[in-house]
């Protein structure tokens, strides 16, 4: 307790202790829960109801009378979205709202580095804080169920364990800034087509084992302060007011004490919004993207309709007080935390972080004849071909679209890196989507080209024939029906005649590198014709620099795939067993069964046995080589409350330093319920100098052996035979250790 000294007529006298005068809710020294109760007790009914819904596109009210600030939301998840008008989606026209764009979350997941994830969260959190935001609407952790999902690029891949390990440090990094993360879209929002009218029918095993773990980790380990409900339905209720997902599981089983924010336009019913776990309603009367009805905020489901129900005695205030308590808790954790840092924007550290995350996430898929890295000794001539070498990728794709201070294109990055050491030439090769505008942000690029496909191809092939290296940069973009919110892809194939261009280039030059820019797997009918293939994601502001570092070998690639690249769409369980996207019932609702259950991604590929993926989950090459020694366990048996240590020596057998992601999968040899052949349960990214050897030790416990028994509604580890598989990818197991669970 400290005292205030007041100077009266030259005399110092001690006044009353400050604490006695400061209301509890404003006193930082009081526990948050006491502050919450105190603030709640001072609020009127109207003030409470006002707090549960938006007052503008991205803002909800605080309590002006009590000095409780407004709550400001921003997308998320790859950078801080530019300001829009109070009540419109149009740009507000600010000149101080350009940001750093970080690589898309698929790239972050491909780093397999919790350290990179923390750096990501910390950096983006600092930008959000500087821009005075309360909540970042991200990260997204919906599981990669089909490569057609237009929003996979915003998520962390197909594996619940990988996504769990990667989401936690992101959330922590953001929240260290006194800014809340908002983990989305909870839950089962696994594709975009008919996203408001799809009712997912999934068994409890798949729900708990595949679709929920990353959310649970974000809540229980990351302590995320907010969660966003999803657009789709589950058990015939929308995700934003879903009794089962929000009340029973999130707030009940997991003990979530934060705020459930609706997705924009995801609220549909006042009664369900009151009782089924929603705390803050945003974006009603919009489709979440373009249109909205002006000044509709009083008509929000949780505005006047809610107030009237309470005033007429139709509903009580228990739910309201619970919602407001959560919202006040959010205020004290963020805007009313006097000790939170100030944040920063556009700093050299942020650009360095974006570049490093990109460099660590780029995946070298194939490198026959060691075409890569590019050797500059003889001053080579390099032809860069393809629209994605020049097209800005930070604009478009939906709500993750950004207004960046700068974006280095692949062509510019390659040119800068090659300066003085190689000659770089460019040909377009094909025209994809020449437009470049989203939500009023324009790229300013003129990509129009009136030449025919044949003319463009002929120019590219001619150029390719006369150079030392050809780097084709293509893939998808952020236009509708590609990697883009609110629509799914039409197929697995590359668009815009790219397959023909790539095949022709392969014939013209044997040193061809294909760089695929996408957040999704694509078909590669030319895989055997092309020596080197690089998966380059959407890399944000530093795209060209990250890519050039890897192509020229300044950085040794160390990314590994966070999802399977299937050879054909039919090889994906959702497409072989169905259903995707389902068929509408008489009410226009797409009843969609996840018939594949737990067999998603490599769990399905493994089960198929004969079907080989194009590239397996966890795959990624390096410019050096790693030898895996024989793995050993510290015991032959594990007790139910014990642990088991599995150690494997890894040696860098090549001539340069490199990082390897060592993966541990568990296989249950016999069980009462069907289980996947193997499941990822641990991984570690290690760095080794040439010739260096390190032991990697994985400690596992019962949790790594469990399945979810839906009949008993509990996690079960069945005693019996197990195997620990040490692997370089899901398709490349290097050592097996059997053990028994007692
Ligand atoms: C998206 C959310 C986003 C929100 C606000 C919605 O359409 O689904 O991910 O955060 O809009 O822009």
For residue 47, the SS3 value is helix
Cα of 124 from ligand 1 centre, angstroms: 17
Indicate if ligand 1 lies below 6 Å from the C-beta of 460: no
Q: Is the pLDDT of residue 9 over 70?
A: no
- List the one residue out of 150, 183, 186, 165 whose CA is nearest residue 538: 150
Percent of the chain with pLDDT over 90: 94
Cα of 399 from ligand 1 centre, angstroms: 5
CA–CA distance, 92 with 97 (Å, rounded to integer)? 10
> What tokens were used for 276?
């089924």
Residue 741 near residue 719, CB atoms below 8 Å: yes
Indicate if ligand 1 lies below 6 Å from the C-beta of 75: yes
Q: CA 47: distance to chain centroid?
A: 35
> What tokens were used for 101?
């764009």
* Helix %, strand %, coil % of the chain (to 5): 30, 25, 50
Q: What is the pLDDT of residue 609?
A: 85
For residue 234, the SS3 value is strand
pLDDT per position as a tens digit, 354-366 = 999 999 999 999 9
Q: What is the pLDDT of residue 295?
A: 66
Indicate if ligand 1 lies below 6 Å from the C-beta of 288: yes
CA–CA distance, 244 with 638 (Å, rounded to integer)? 35
CB neighbour list of residue 515: distance below 8 Å, 6 or more residues apart:
386, 388, 410, 471, 472, 473, 474, 475, 534, 536, 547, 551
Q: What is the pLDDT of residue 15?
A: 46
Residue with tokens 């393809």: 386
Indicate if ligand 1 lies below 6 Å from the C-beta of 401: no
Indicate if ligand 1 lies below 6 Å from the C-beta of 74: no
Q: CA 512: distance to chain centroid?
A: 31
Atom 3 in ligand 1: residue holding the nearest Cα: 399
Determine whether 337 is an active site residue.
Answer: no
pLDDT per position as a tens digit, 458-502 = 999 999 999 999 999 999 999 999 999 999 999 999 999 999 999
CA–CA distance, 358 with 542 (Å, rounded to integer)? 8
pLDDT per position as a tens digit, 209-224 = 999 999 999 999 999 9
Cα of 734 from ligand 1 centre, angstroms: 42
Q: Is the pLDDT of residue 13 over 50?
A: no
Q: Which of the following is catalytic: 75, 97, 263, 483?
A: 263
Transcribe 564-607 into DSSP letters. -B-SSGGGSHHHHT--SS-EE-TTS-EEEE-TTTT--THHHHHH
Dihedrals φ, ψ of 605, to 5°?
-60, -45
- List the one residue out of 692, 416, 657, 414 whose CA is nearest residue 555: 657
Indicate if ligand 1 lies below 6 Å from the C-beta of 289: yes
Average model confidence (pLDDT) across the chain? 96
Q: What is the pLDDT of residue 5?
A: 42
Residue 214 near residue 208, CB atoms below 8 Å: no
Atom 9 in ligand 1: residue holding the nearest Cα: 399
Atom 5 in ligand 1: residue holding the nearest Cα: 264
Q: What residue ranges define each of the domains in the chain, with the CATH number in brackets?
A: 5-333 (3.20.20.300), 362-555 (3.40.50.1700), 624-741 (2.60.40.10)
pLDDT per position as a tens digit, 250-309 = 999 999 999 999 999 999 999 999 999 999 999 998 766 666 666 689 999 999 999 999
Cα of 344 from ligand 1 centre, angstroms: 24
Q: Is the pLDDT of residue 78 over 90?
A: yes
Top mutation candidate among 90, 399, 487 for ligand 1, by most atoms within 8 Å of CB: 399
Name the band, by pLDDT with cuts 50, 70 and 90, for residue 116: very high
Residue 269 near residue 251, CB atoms below 8 Å: no
- List the one residue out of 151, 161, 228, 237 whose CA is nearest residue 190: 151
Ligand 1 atom nearest 189 alpha carbon: 8
Q: What is the pLDDT of residue 658?
A: 98
Indicate if ligand 1 lies below 6 Å from the C-beta of 292: no
Global pTM?
Answer: 0.96
DSSP state of 210: I
pLDDT per position as a tens digit, 494-553 = 999 999 999 999 999 999 999 999 999 999 999 999 999 999 999 999 999 999 999 999
């Amino acid at each position: 307790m400290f005292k205030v000294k007041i100077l009266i007529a030259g005399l110092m006298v001690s006044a009353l202790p400050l604490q006695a005068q400061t209301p509890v809710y404003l006193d930082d020294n009081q526990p948050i829960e006491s502050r919450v109760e105190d603030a709640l007790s001072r609020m009127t009914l109207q003030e409470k109801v006002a707090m549960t819904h938006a007052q503008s596109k991205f803002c909800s009210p605080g309590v002006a009378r009590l000095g409780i600030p407004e709550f400001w939301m921003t997308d998320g998840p790859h950078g801080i979205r530019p300001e829009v008008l109070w009540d419109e989606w149009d740009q507000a026209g600010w000149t101080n709202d350009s940001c750093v764009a970080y690589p898309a979350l698929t790239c972050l997941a491909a780093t397999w580095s919790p350290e990179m994830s923390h750096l990501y969260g910390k950096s983006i959190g600092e930008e959000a804080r500087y821009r005075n935001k309360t909540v970042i609407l991200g990260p997204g952790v919906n599981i990669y169920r089909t490569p057609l999902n237009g929003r996979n690029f915003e998520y962390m891949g197909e594996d619940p364990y990988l996504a769990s390990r990667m989401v936690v440090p992101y959330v922590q990094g953001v929240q260290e800034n006194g800014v809340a993360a908002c983990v989305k879209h909870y839950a089962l929002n696994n594709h975009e087509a008919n996203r408001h009218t799809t009712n997912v029918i999934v068994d409890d095993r798949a729900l708990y084992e595949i679709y929920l773990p990353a959310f649970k980790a974000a809540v229980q380990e990351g302590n995320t302060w907010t969660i966003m409900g999803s657009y789709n339905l589950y058990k015939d209720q929308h995700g934003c007011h879903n009794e089962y997902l929000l009340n029973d599981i999130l707030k009940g089983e997991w003990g979530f004490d934060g705020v459930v924010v609706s997705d924009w336009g995801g609220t549909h019913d006042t009664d369900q919004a009151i009782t089924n776990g929603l705390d803050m309603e945003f974006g009603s009367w919009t489709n979440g993207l373009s249109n909205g009805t002006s000044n509709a905020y009083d008509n929000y489901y949780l505005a006047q309709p809610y107030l009237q129900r309470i005033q007429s005695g139709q509903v009580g205030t228990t739910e309201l007080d619970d919602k407001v308590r959560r919202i006040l808790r959010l205020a004290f954790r963020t805007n009313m935390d006097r000790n939170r840092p100030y944040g920063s924007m556009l700093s050299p550290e942020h650009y360095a972080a974006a570049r490093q995350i990109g460099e660590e996430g780029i995946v070298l898929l194939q490198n026959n004849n060691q075409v890569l890295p590019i050797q500059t000794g003889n001053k080579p001539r390099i032809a860069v071909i393809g629209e994605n070498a020049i097209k800005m990728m930070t604009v478009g794709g939906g709500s993750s679209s950004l207004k960046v201070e700068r974006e280095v294109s692949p062509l510019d990055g390659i040119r800068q890196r090659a300066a003085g050491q190689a000659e770089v030439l460019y040909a377009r090769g094909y025209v994809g989507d020449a437009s470049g505008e989203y939500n009023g942000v324009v790229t300013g690029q003129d990509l129009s080209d009136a030449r025919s496909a044949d003319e463009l191809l002929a120019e590219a092939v001619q150029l390719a024939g006369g150079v030392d290296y050809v780097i084709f940069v293509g893939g998808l973009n952020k236009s509708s029906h590609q990697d883009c919110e609110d629509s799914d892809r039409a197929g697995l194939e590359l668009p815009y005649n790219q397959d023909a261009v790539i095949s022709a280039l392969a014939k013209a030059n044997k040193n061809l590198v294909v760089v695929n820019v996408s957040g999704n797997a694509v078909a590669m009918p030319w895989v055997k014709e092309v020596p080197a293939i690089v998966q380059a994601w959407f890399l944000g502001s530093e795209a060209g620099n990250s890519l050039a570092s890897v192509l020229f070998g300044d950085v040794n690639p160390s990314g590994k795939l966070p999802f399977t690249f299937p050879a054909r769409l039919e090889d994906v369980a959702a497409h072989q067993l169905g259903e995707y996207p389902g068929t509408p019932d008489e009410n226009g609702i797409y009843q969609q069964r996840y018939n594949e259950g737990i067999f998603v991604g490599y769990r399905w590929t493994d089960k198929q046995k004969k079907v080989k993926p194009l590239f397996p989950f966890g795959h990624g090459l390096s410019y050096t080589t790693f030898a895996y020694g024989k793995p050993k366990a510290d015991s032959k048996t594990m007790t139910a409350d014990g642990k088991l240590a599995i150690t494997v020596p890894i040696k860098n057998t090549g001539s340069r330093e490199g990082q390897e992601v060592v993966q541990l999968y568990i296989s249950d040899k016999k069980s009462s319920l069907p289980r996947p052949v193997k499941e990822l349960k641990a991984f570690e990214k290690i760095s080794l100098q040439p010739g260096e050897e390190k032991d990697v030790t994985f400690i596992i416990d019962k949790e790594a052996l469990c399945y979810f028994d839906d009949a008993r509604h509990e996690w079960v580890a069945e005693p019996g035979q197990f195997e620990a598989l040490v692997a370089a990818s899901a398709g490349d197991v290097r050592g097996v250790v059997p053990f028994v669970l007692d």
